[in-house]
Amino acid sequence: MPSHLLLAACLMLAAPGDADAVEDALRATVRLTGGASSGTGWFISVESADGKKVTLLVTAAHVFDSFPGDSGVAVLRAKVKDDYARKETAFPLRKAGKPLWTKHPEVDVAVIPFALPAGTDIAPLDYARVADEKWAEGKKVRAGDDVFIPCYPAKAEGNPAGWAILRKGSIATHPLFPLASAKTIFIDYRHYGGDSGSPVVAVRDKKPLVVGLVFAMLRQTDKSATMFEERTTHTPLGLAMTVQAPVVRQTVELWRAKK
């Protein structure tokens, strides 16, 4: 399927007034690869401590940890006439073996500065579109709300240009506040390997609002034994373990403090 048709098909998942917000989330999301590993990342535009605009790549910390060597690859996109072309781009991940990313000390989130090449059709989300604690405290984000998840399940891409596959779910945890006891929550959608790092996006005022970041799946483990064999079965429960967005903001602030 051509890239522009895939994007249109993804947007059909959204309500008519939400399509632009969902498209913004898709445009900010990319696949990340390194060796045999794959994950999902997304870009935000932030102001550094010295007042300069910087693009940060956000993902689950274990995604970066799983990439060997000093670089990773982001599958970017470039506009070509009325379609999109794949533009794989290497980015520095370590220097002399030491990580260049900033990791949250308690949960599975990391950010790293990223220089987007000219000519790529990537639109970082404004930092203000990453939810802070006030959204949950004021019940503007709550259990049962619909959310969208641009992701790359089982390393799958939406088309050759590398667009994310858009999934839909709902917030499954209550309460979401105070943050100290709800750093991680559940999202009701079927999560697969490769989704780690995906943004969980709600639509508010016809704009995207990142409310979380996917980092793992919840599953049930059963063991059975007979005279001739022992078997372990893992059954996914259709629940994604997710870091709340205010914790992503904490990670950005840790990065700022380093500057």
Residues 169-194: tens digit of each pLDDT: 999 999 999 999 999 999 999 888 89
Sign of CA dihedral 144, 149, 249, 49: negative
Find the helix or strand (DSSP H, E) in which 200 lies: strand 199-204
Distance CA 246, CA 185 (A): 12
- Angstrom CA distances, 2 to 59, 86, 87, 160, stand at 27, 12, 16, 8
Distance CA 154, CA 156 (A): 5
What CATH class has 3-258? mainly beta
Note the pLDDT tens digit of each residue in 94-127: 999 899 999 999 999 999 999 999 999 999 999 9
Note the pLDDT tens digit of each residue in 23-69: 999 999 999 999 899 999 999 999 988 889 999 999 999 999 999 99
